[in-house]
Structure 1
Amino acid sequence: MRALEAHNVSFAYPRGPLLLKDVSMHVASGECVALGGPSGCGKSTLCHILSGIIPRSIQGKVEGRVLLFGEEIAGLSLARVVQLVGIVFQNPEAQL
């Protein structure tokens, strides 16, 4: 079963350039995923979108669909999302 899905996700901060364009991926239930890449390539931004932090707490324009167990993440409460999605950042001192 697909726990998390992103379909053609694009993102730009207010008055900023397009940072992510047409990102699609899926994560199976129970699967652990590591997202790597050079500094500034959008890893944290993508994680914030996949976890519902963007656009709820960080402003920006998100296009595309993010599904959590088949439901649009935008329609779920943040309390429900944080029960199901976890992020571990490079610097543990900066954890949310």
Structure 2
Amino acid sequence: MFTRGSRYQAVEESEYVQADGRTVRYKRIRFLPSPDGRGGYVVASGDRPDTAAWNIAQDAESYWRLCDANGTARPAELTARVGTRIIIPDPTGGAGS
């Protein structure tokens, strides 16, 4: 259902059986990890969430890990203000990744 590497890939699935007998499969709630990261990245002029992720991890699609580590659900908020320090998540998958 989700692509490999998606933030929802490892989220547990559940089922709900409707009154008419149909089964609906869904993902459980994904709780954000605590924002315990290492170092920081200072937002530069022209940065976007994907370019910041590329500069940090050489993976533009990992911007959602930055969102998790920084406690934001809106990727654009990561780079909205030049000079903002972005917490970098732990690359080993520990807290904050």
TM over 0.5, yes or no?
A: no
TM-score w.r.t. structure 2 length?
Answer: 0.26
Higher RCO (CA 8 Å, separation ≥ 6 residues): 1
Give the structure with higher Rg (CA): 2
Larger strand fraction of residues: 1
TM-score w.r.t. structure 1 length?
Answer: 0.26
